[in-house]
């Protein structure tokens, strides 16, 4: 039983809904997509410019957002849990995160978890964050949060489809669930799915076990659109697999190629109910399929001069140069 019962005063009163103790779930986000080929650094000002909010202020800023954190907040009412808002840090994709702000945010999260002692944690990560001294910044944050929270409290993580996922990240959370679409139109829904997974865990209804497969390919950014082949079929297969008994979530992330890190590349994460072997088998099966499709994951693109010349001679307008 994971619910905390040592609540006092107002917290105790607020904790009882319809005669039962309400679970307290911490929500937080620490998100960056880091391009290691960029000479820029993403510093505190870069986060402050977009979102760097602490405590209840994050609820106001993110409640209505088409974002997984908006989904976490919405789920609190639907799934009947008390929100413990910790912080939200989000900066525009750019060069690696400066160590100073990486440490500040990570340490603040650790402090908050130690003080608040929630029943569980919902954490929005991007999955492709690199800091100056941390090639696997997302994995390192989670490892430190897991240590602060202890092994018993569940952690469910949401991920952008462009995350480069490490085994360290998977080892330090109970379930990781990624967006299903690119462009990302299901972010809020992703947050709700993560919240529902955590709530079902806390109620003892499910016992997630997850596995990661990393086929050794690079998925060209030009084939990431999930409404087009080849990814369309892969996403449909993931949804079919999710309907099988014992499977809780299937994520297929093409990854972020502009990161020179060991765990760069696509990731398949399968979360199964109390069945690590099933998760491993299905993740590896999908990973092998992606490997078999590798020829279709390549796009031949014109170089910059050719692209400009093609644009100038285009018969159909507008032309977008990317």
Total binding residues toward Zn ion, as defined by CB under 5 A: 2
Nearest distance from C-beta of residue 256 to Zn ion, angstroms: 8
Nearest distance from C-beta of residue 201 to Zn ion, angstroms: 26
- Asked if residue 68 binds Zn ion (CB under 5 A), the reply is no
What residues contact 224, with CB distance under 8 A and at least 6 apart?
161, 162, 182, 231, 254
Nearest distance from C-beta of residue 31 to Zn ion, angstroms: 10
Only one of the segments 11-19, 160-168, 210-218, 268-276 lies at the binding site for Zn ion (rule: CB under 5 A); that segment is 160-168
Q: Are 136 and 153 in contact (CB under 8 A)?
A: no
The interaxial angle of helices 68-79 and 187-202, nearest 10 deg, is 40
Q: Using the rule CB under 5 A, which residue among 136, 160, 186, 282 binds Zn ion?
A: 160
Q: Using the rule CB under 5 A, which residue among 32, 134, 146, 162 binds Zn ion?
A: 162
Nearer to Zn ion, 70 or 85 (CB): 70
Residue with tokens 């907040």: 73
Only one of the segments 79-87, 93-101, 152-160, 223-231 lies at the binding site for Zn ion (rule: CB under 5 A); that segment is 152-160
Give the torsion through C-alpha atoms of 87, 24, 249, 59, to 10 deg.
-40
Closest CB to Zn ion: residue number? 162
Nearest distance from C-beta of residue 132 to Zn ion, angstroms: 22
Question: Which has the closest alpha carbon to 193: 275, 269, 88?
Answer: 269
- Asked if residue 186 binds Zn ion (CB under 5 A), the reply is no
DSSP state of 164: -
Nearest distance from C-beta of residue 119 to Zn ion, angstroms: 30
Whole-number Å distance between alpha carbons of 17 and 79: 12
Question: Which has the closest alpha carbon to 180: 265, 230, 269, 251?
Answer: 251
- 3-class secondary structure, 176: strand
Only one of the segments 36-44, 154-162, 194-202, 260-268 lies at the binding site for Zn ion (rule: CB under 5 A); that segment is 154-162
199 phi/psi in degrees, rounded to 5: -65, -45
CA torsion sign for 279, 267, 30, 136 is positive
Q: Would you give the binding string for Zn ion spanning residues 112-151, x where CB under 5 A is met?
A: ----------------------------------------
Question: HSE of 68 in the Cβ direction (CA atoms, 13 Å)?
Answer: 31
Nearest distance from C-beta of residue 178 to Zn ion, angstroms: 9
73-76, long-range: CB within 8 Å, 24+ apart, which pairs? Answer: 73/27, 74/188, 74/191, 74/192, 75/191, 75/192, 75/195, 75/196, 75/199, 76/25, 76/195
Only one of the segments 70-78, 94-102, 155-163, 282-290 lies at the binding site for Zn ion (rule: CB under 5 A); that segment is 155-163
Only one of the segments 130-138, 158-166, 193-201, 303-311 lies at the binding site for Zn ion (rule: CB under 5 A); that segment is 158-166
Nearer to Zn ion, 29 or 154 (CB): 29
Residue with tokens 């679409």: 181
Nearest distance from C-beta of residue 34 to Zn ion, angstroms: 12
Only one of the segments 104-112, 144-152, 157-165, 216-224 lies at the binding site for Zn ion (rule: CB under 5 A); that segment is 157-165
Whole-number Å distance between alpha carbons of 102 and 265: 23
Nearest distance from C-beta of residue 93 to Zn ion, angstroms: 9
Which residues of the shown chain bind Zn ion in the complex (CB under 5 A)?
A: 160, 162
């Amino acid at each position: 039983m994971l619910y905390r019962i040592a609540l006092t005063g107002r917290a105790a009163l607020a904790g009882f809904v319809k005669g039962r103790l309400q679970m307290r779930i911490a929500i937080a986000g620490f998100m960056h997509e880091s391009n290691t080929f960029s000479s820029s650094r993403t510093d505190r000002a870069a986060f402050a410019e977009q979102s760097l909010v602490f405590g209840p202020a994050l609820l106001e800023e993110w409640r209505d957002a088409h974002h997984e954190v908006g989904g976490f907040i919405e789920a609190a009412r639907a799934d009947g849990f008390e929100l413990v808002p910790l912080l939200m840090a989000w900066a525009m994709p750019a060069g690696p995160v400066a160590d100073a702000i990486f440490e500040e945010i990570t340490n603040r999260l650790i402090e908050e978890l130690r003080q608040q002692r929630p029943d569980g944690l919902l954490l929005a990560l991007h999955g492709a964050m690199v800091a100056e001294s941390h090639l696997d910044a997302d994995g390192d944050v989670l490892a430190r949060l897991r240590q602060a929270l202890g092994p018993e409290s569940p952690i469910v993580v949401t991920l952008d489809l462009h995350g480069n996922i490490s085994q360290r990240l998977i080892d330090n959370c109970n379930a990781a669930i990624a967006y299903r679409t690119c462009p990302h139109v299901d972010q809020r829904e992703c947050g709700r799915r993560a919240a529902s997974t955590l709530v079902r865990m806390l109620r003892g209804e499910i016992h997630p076990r997850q596995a990661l497969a990393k086929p050794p390919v690079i998925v060209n950014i030009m084939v990431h659109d999930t409404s087009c082949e080849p990814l369309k079929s892969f996403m449909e297969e993931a949804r079919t697999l999710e309907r099988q008994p014992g499977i809780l979530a299937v994520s297929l992330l093409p990854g972020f190629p502009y990161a020179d890190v060991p765990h760069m590349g696509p990731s398949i994460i399968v979360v199964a109910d109390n069945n690590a072997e099933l998760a491993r088998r299905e993740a590896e099966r999908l990973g092998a399929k992606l490997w078999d499709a590798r020829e279709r994951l390549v796009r031949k693109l014109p170089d910059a001069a050719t692209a400009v010349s093609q644009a100038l001679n285009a018969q159909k307008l507008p032309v977008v140069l990317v």
